[in-house]
Structure 1
Amino acid sequence: MGKSKAKKFKANKPQPTGLPSVKDCEAALDLETVKSIASNSTIQNLIEKLTSTNEDERECGCTGIAGLVSQPQAITCLLQHNVVRILAPLILDPSIQVRHRALGALRNLSVDGGLDVCEEMVHKDVLTPLVAFFKHYPVGWVPEKPGKKQKDFNTEAFLEGTHLLWNLCEATETAVEVFNKEGLVAILLPCLQYAVYGIPLSIAVGQCLHTVSEDNPGFAQACDGGQATPQQLLNLMGEAPESAGHILLKTLATGILVNIKSAELTTAPGNLVAHILTSVSQVLDVNALDNFTATLDIRKEMTPSEDEQKDTNLTSSIKDKLQDVEHFIAAQMIGLEIAANLCCIEDTWEDMDSSESDDQIAEADLEEETMDDNLFSPLCVSSEIQGAILSNEIFSKVLKKAQPCILPGDGISLSDQQKNLVKRFEKLEVHALLCINNLVSSMELEALGGLDNLHSVWQGLVQLTATKHNGDRSDLLEAVTSAMRAVVQKLAEHESPKLLEVTGQDLQFLYEMGQHGNSSDIRVNAVRIVATFGAHFAKNKEPHPMLLNLGVFLLEVACHEGELWVVAEALDSIFDVFGEDHLNNILSEIRLLDRLRQLLPMLKAKMKANRKDLGEHLPVISTAKTNLVRFIKYKSSV
């Protein structure tokens, strides 16, 4: 009990946008109407345009829909009018301009509508025309060279279709299954050649393939038996970076390769792992925050009249720089994901069938561990991976990405694009913290810089929890406490003497989070961190003075927590910390056994009432209940 595995995670994707504007239809559709909640008459008018025999009308209708979907109320109304079934056939419209606009509208709908709308789109069979659209492009097709005043609409439509396919595959397994079945990888994979297809299209294809290839053996099999494609990806990874977009594309290639070779990485040749982590190291070297603050300096230098004029429309130069920052952040998200997931060892962790009885689960668990087991069971990765992580200084680079995004100066007016990038930096910080959790849990102490470095990391993490802006950011607190839990477990595993120097004040903020944290993950992390300190204190024959308050905290959580999983973790912590007989005086002083006897029947009743909702936590809760009975019985006999 109490053991935690390194968690596999993936970066949240940025929300792309489809058609840039509806200016072509402003004469037909009042702009104020687009910005307001769409009325039934407005939508009915657009649908009539979609079904018109006139090409311009159909194109205008698609553009109008694309502008409306940014409003949730409009999306609901559009779905009620069955707009997906009406738009979908236009993916195969005879006019390339209409195909382009229809794909852009559906892309926007998939982005702004979220998971539910993507599922609805798949249910309404948008994939059939979308697959047919892609199959109109022969394998290895080459874009036309656009004229000075004319777009290559075939390439633009392919770009919109790729983003739509990416969104659907991100949202539903059905879309991934269709992707495999229809062999779309053969059409998309050549488009990674950015010199032929251009960086924007190659990035979109890379993002789609990165999503589809995850946990997808069928994808690897479709890639020429898993041989030719890895070499193509390795070649792309080995290129010298030419731009921010190129860096993102190289990192996407790395992620796709990791997904294809995931089952083999623990036994793969060292040079493959070295290539992967060298790519990760290079992308983490980029200081995206400096690039971002440079755009703020430019904006700050504007005169008031310039600033007012360009508040919503930044200069082309600044927009390009912000796009570069977005590419850097996206690449670093993927890099952190790769580093973290290379430290996952999942073979030894098996899900237990929730249909098993409490006793079956408990017995299976107890065969592997006893009441006096350590709180942690260190996970180790292969020596090749550890060596590559160490030689590329991955840990120190990840630590830098975990620093909060602090902007220079106050009173700078940010554009919407800049505000969105600030949020992306915050997401990057969260992913860096989750990566720290996996690295610390899985790596040898020397690869992490030794005990002194880990203590410095601990202090930095404690400061993050105290940052005044973090109170309402549960994602950040969850990530910080996960990293703290891994660090303190590693320190305790190596019996760091500095752990005994902790003060009651140092633990107080953990007590607060353990009782009042706004998510169960935060509360569990706080409980397990406290328990790790407690188990370390308990090794001394002379009871540590902080064990009394520590025991009161664990008992309060066990008796008053509403979620059974947190209760189980608190009980498990009590067993780990107070299992030894030399601490029985503390148990008596806080009336531990009396309180636990009162808790037992309530715990059984809650388990019986909520059994179907316990999910993956059922084994932990069931084992805690069984161990509670044994703990009470044993301590009562002493």
Structure 2
Amino acid sequence: MGKSKVKKFNRPQFSPTGFARGKVEEESEDVNSPVRDLLDKLQSPCVDVREFACASISKLVQQEQVIPTFLQKDAVRCLGPLLLDQSLAVRETAAGALRNLSTCGGLEVCDDMVKRDIMTPLVALLKECSSAFDADLVPLQKSKGAKRTSVEVTANEAINLLWNLCESSSRAVSSFNKEGLLEPLLQCLKKFTTNMELATSAGKCLETKLHSTPPLDYGDQFAAKTRLSSNPFCIDSILICMAFLIACTAWNLKNIVPSNNQAATINAIAKILSETLEIDSGQVILQLKEAESQSPARETEVVEAANEVEEDIVFDQESGMEEVSRKGQTQKKTDDISDLLPLKNEELKQAAALLAAQQIALEIIVNICCCEDPSDDEWEELSSSDESDCCFENTLAESNGPLLSPLCLSAEVHTALLSCHVPKKVLEKTAFPSNVAVDACMRSPTWKQLVSKLQRVQCRGLTCLHNMLSVLDVESLGGALALQALAEHLSQLVFTETVFPKNDEFREAATSAIRSLMQTMASKNIPQCMTPEQLLAMCEAEVQCSNSSVRVNAVGIMGITGSVLAKGEGTAETLKMVGNFLLHVVTKDPSLVVVGEVLDALFDVFADGKEAEKAAVQIQLLKSLKAFQPVFKAKVRKEGREKYSLDQLCVLDNVKMNLRRFIAYQEAMEKNCRT
């Protein structure tokens, strides 16, 4: 409360949730089919029987209710040895089954798999695949209609399993380090020219691992890879560059690259980020879609993919959730399932690759421009402040100014971002996706999944804009006129109706960007473009959102608006509207985090100024806060330890103390007015 949190992506929001699909089409329709029988078939001397058993398990474990049964019957130790089976097809399907088990089972299952020693055969498999790459041993099944089975396909399944395990288990990360799995993953990364999917999986797995351990010293390889995107419109090269950037840095460059090479490396990164964001994804999608439609064979493949999935994503205009229709049945889905849909043609893969690259680029910029949350020491200092009844106006004077002080980006980073026009490219990505491209995707069952990816890129752009507003000065952002134009752009995003619903992710990102922009403009006395009435209408809608972060941003926006109004003349009537809005939220919102933010906003708005004093008397602010004070204390005491973190409790304790001081201050003001 009282602080504008700058969002950081601790790691790009990827998760290896794509399910591995078994090679065998037969599937038991009964979820209670004998698990033991399938596990026994894993020991069969017949290769086809072992492969069939692995494929069946791979499909069954996608039903969460059967996972405990497989774990109880020790399926992990039964499947593990098959990762080293003499048959490459069995290795692939076994890795796929374990990958699906880790994906559907979640954190606890992943940790349990590591405890059951799945890492031993997995490490051996990855090292064998790496050796096969070195020897160029990549046998393929080339029979017509057969699924492509090779060392690369098997390695991709194994890497996705490793990615899941490292993301969920510290034991897996420890085994990664002990067994030296960096080299096998780098070997997979080098396959970007022939197998983009494998290289991308390796890059993302490396990125997840690097966020759990200190970075390794391979700056030379990094420098070489940053030169891959000589053609900014080569989507394959851009994607693998981005994957490698994540894998090798996660913005830990100062620990990886020698100091004398840091400026050049940062410039190379900024150039790649800029080139990646420069591509018009909507135009590329239309070109790729047209190329697909001109190929009769490709169109047949697309239809087959749609029939195989037997799912169709539609938007519920009221709830904003996706619905999945499967064989005539409809069920609500709140999670994005787009990653579960197979990419059956090269055009679709290229489009998805571009959107993934742009998302990663924006997430890296978010981290570059990110402010860490207040430290534990700062929270303790806030909560242990002297509780004497000092003058409240002194407390306010100490906190006067921006909610966040601009960070000091290093000169190299600042110069690189501006010279490569990164802020301008980020702003372009905050616009709504092209209507023509969205329509083209919505008309195709297999391309429809790209709509959510387009939306995600826009949301990342808004979050990135929010962070840049917190760390760049007004001149770097283009001056007062540029900020006013930006305010107009953001207002259009909020008030414009779109063909698809604005989900909570968009609302949080948009309100965060507006809040940061308004704070920047207020601190420099730059006139706001949106009227208080427009802002009030927007915030009244946003406080109805189920996402507490959106509600926090909404009351923060009204707090900034009121603080600016309090400095003017003839604004009492508008301040009354702001005050009534905040008082309504403070008594109705169920979240103490939001309530604390509202109280902070009230303190800021009605701390000083004749217009604020007049409005406070007319809305009976003092009476309302005195009545609310015991309610707030009781809620903090009753709900605090059960629902909120220690950091949040420390801030709430500080708000509670400031509420007491503010009431005393208002009482003194009223007493002075009467005398």
Give TM class, smaller chain: 0.7 to 0.9
Deviations 1:365-422 (A, max 9, x none): x99x932322423322223222211111111211222222344285976444312222
Determine whether 1:45 maps to 2:37.
Answer: yes
Determine whether 1:339 maps to 2:365.
Answer: yes
Determine whether 1:7 maps to 2:36.
Answer: no
2:119·2:172 contact (CA, 8 Å) conserved in 1? yes
Partner of residue 333, structure 2 = none
Find the aligned partners of 2:90 and 2:504 in 1 and give their Cα distance.
Answer: 44
Find the aligned partners of 1:195 and 1:310 in 2 and give their Cα distance.
Answer: 24
Tell me which amino acid in the other structure corresponds to 1:143.
Answer: D
1:143·1:197 contact (CA, 8 Å) conserved in 2? no
Structure 1 SS opposite 2:376: coil
Structure 2 SS opposite 1:275: helix
Give 1:121's match in structure 2, choosing from 113, 127, 130. 113
Tell me which amino acid in the other structure corresponds to 1:433.
Answer: L
Find the aligned partners of 2:629 and 2:140 in 1 and give their Cα distance.
Answer: 77
Find the aligned partners of 1:82 and 1:337 in 2 and give their Cα distance.
Answer: 39
Post-superposition shift, 1:486? 1.1
Post-superposition shift, 1:80? 5.1
Determine whether 1:395 maps to 2:420.
Answer: no
Find the aligned partners of 1:310 and 1:191 in 2 and give their Cα distance.
Answer: 28
Find the aligned partners of 2:577 and 2:658 in 1 and give their Cα distance.
Answer: 23
**1:527-538 alignment to 2 at 5 Å?**
527-538=555-566
Determine whether 1:564 maps to 2:556.
Answer: no
Partner of residue 84, structure 1 = 76
Find the aligned partners of 1:110 and 1:490 in 2 and give their Cα distance.
Answer: 45
2:382·2:651 contact (CA, 8 Å) conserved in 1? no
Find the aligned partners of 2:83 and 2:609 in 1 and give their Cα distance.
Answer: 73
Find the aligned partners of 1:603 and 1:263 in 2 and give their Cα distance.
Answer: 46
**1:176-215 alignment to 2 at 5 Å?**
176-194=173-191, 198-214=195-211
Tell me which amino acid in the other structure corresponds to 1:8.
Answer: K
Tell me which amino acid in the other structure corresponds to 1:293.
Answer: L
Partner of residue 330, structure 1 = 356
Partner of residue 673, structure 2 = none
Cα 1:107–1:451 shift into 2, 3 Å? same
Cα 1:358–1:288 shift into 2, 3 Å? closer
Structure 1 SS opposite 2:476: helix
Task: Using the TM superposition, name which of 620-629 and 544-553 deviates more.
Answer: 544-553
Cα 1:363–1:320 shift into 2, 3 Å? farther
Give 1:93's match in structure 2, choosing from 85, 110, 130. 85
Post-superposition shift, 1:84? 2.7
2:129·2:151 contact (CA, 8 Å) conserved in 1? no
Post-superposition shift, 1:631? 0.5
Find the aligned partners of 1:195 and 1:470 in 2 and give their Cα distance.
Answer: 35
Give 1:360's match in structure 2, choosing from 338, 359, 384. 384
Post-superposition shift, 1:352? 4.8
Tell me which amino acid in the other structure corresponds to 1:288.
Answer: S
**1:617-628 alignment to 2 at 5 Å?**
617-628=648-659
Find the aligned partners of 1:580 and 1:262 in 2 and give their Cα distance.
Answer: 46
Partner of residue 252, structure 1 = 243
1:143·1:196 contact (CA, 8 Å) conserved in 2? no
Find the aligned partners of 2:90 and 2:141 in 1 and give their Cα distance.
Answer: 21
Structure 1 SS opposite 2:276: helix
Partner of residue 481, structure 1 = 511
Give 1:105's match in structure 2, choosing from 97, 103, 114. 97
Determine whether 1:351 maps to 2:368.
Answer: no
1:3·1:375 contact (CA, 8 Å) conserved in 2? no
Partner of residue 396, structure 2 = 371
Partner of residue 458, structure 1 = 487
Post-superposition shift, 1:459? 2.5
Cα 1:309–1:63 shift into 2, 3 Å? closer
Give 2:660's match in structure 1, choosing from 614, 629, 634. 629
Find the aligned partners of 1:131 and 1:108 in 2 and give their Cα distance.
Answer: 18
Determine whether 1:146 maps to 2:172.
Answer: no
Deviations 1:248-280 (A, max 9, x none): 111122223333635559988422221111111
TM-score by length of 2: 0.82
Partner of residue 319, structure 1 = 345
Cα 1:148–1:557 shift into 2, 3 Å? closer
Post-superposition shift, 1:580? 0.5
Tell me which amino acid in the other structure corresponds to 1:618.
Answer: L
Partner of residue 336, structure 2 = none
Partner of residue 427, structure 1 = 456
2:51·2:93 contact (CA, 8 Å) conserved in 1? yes
Find the aligned partners of 1:419 and 1:617 in 2 and give their Cα distance.
Answer: 40
Find the aligned partners of 1:147 and 1:353 in 2 and give their Cα distance.
Answer: 59
Partner of residue 65, structure 1 = 57
Find the aligned partners of 2:222 and 2:352 in 1 and give their Cα distance.
Answer: 22
Post-superposition shift, 1:608? 1.2
Tell me which amino acid in the other structure corresponds to 1:398.
Answer: V
1:488·1:532 contact (CA, 8 Å) conserved in 2? yes
Partner of residue 327, structure 2 = none
Cα 1:71–1:405 shift into 2, 3 Å? farther
Find the aligned partners of 1:396 and 1:627 in 2 and give their Cα distance.
Answer: 41
Structure 2: unaligned runs, 5 residues or longer: 308-341, 670-675
Cα 1:237–1:302 shift into 2, 3 Å? closer
TM-score by length of 1: 0.87
1:14·1:330 contact (CA, 8 Å) conserved in 2? no
1:2·1:573 contact (CA, 8 Å) conserved in 2? yes
Cα 1:474–1:260 shift into 2, 3 Å? closer
Give 2:167's match in structure 1, choosing from 162, 165, 170. 170
2:204·2:247 contact (CA, 8 Å) conserved in 1? no
2:222·2:245 contact (CA, 8 Å) conserved in 1? yes
2:302·2:344 contact (CA, 8 Å) conserved in 1? no
Determine whether 1:440 maps to 2:432.
Answer: no
1:362·1:622 contact (CA, 8 Å) conserved in 2? no
Cα 1:195–1:398 shift into 2, 3 Å? closer
Find the aligned partners of 1:138 and 1:67 in 2 and give their Cα distance.
Answer: 28
Find the aligned partners of 1:260 and 1:554 in 2 and give their Cα distance.
Answer: 39
Tell me which amino acid in the other structure corresponds to 1:349.
Answer: P
Task: Using the TM superposition, name which of 85-94 and 572-581 deviates more.
Answer: 85-94
Find the aligned partners of 1:84 and 1:127 in 2 and give their Cα distance.
Answer: 11
| Number of residue pairs aligned between Structure 1 and Structure 2 | 614
Tell me which amino acid in the other structure corresponds to 1:632.
Answer: I
Find the aligned partners of 2:249 and 2:549 in 1 and give their Cα distance.
Answer: 28
Post-superposition shift, 1:135? 4.2
Find the aligned partners of 1:100 and 1:317 in 2 and give their Cα distance.
Answer: 18
Post-superposition shift, 1:126? 2.2
2:305·2:344 contact (CA, 8 Å) conserved in 1? no
Partner of residue 216, structure 1 = 213
Partner of residue 492, structure 1 = 522
Structure 1: unaligned runs, 5 residues or longer: none
2:229·2:241 contact (CA, 8 Å) conserved in 1? no
Tell me which amino acid in the other structure corresponds to 2:522.
Answer: A
Find the aligned partners of 1:389 and 1:593 in 2 and give their Cα distance.
Answer: 48
Give me the CA root mean square deviation.
3.4
Give 2:283's match in structure 1, choosing from 261, 283, 290. 290
Tell me which amino acid in the other structure corresponds to 1:360.
Answer: S
Structure 1 SS opposite 2:396: coil
Partner of residue 573, structure 1 = 601
Structure 2 SS opposite 1:259: coil
Post-superposition shift, 1:136? 4.4
Post-superposition shift, 1:497? 2.2
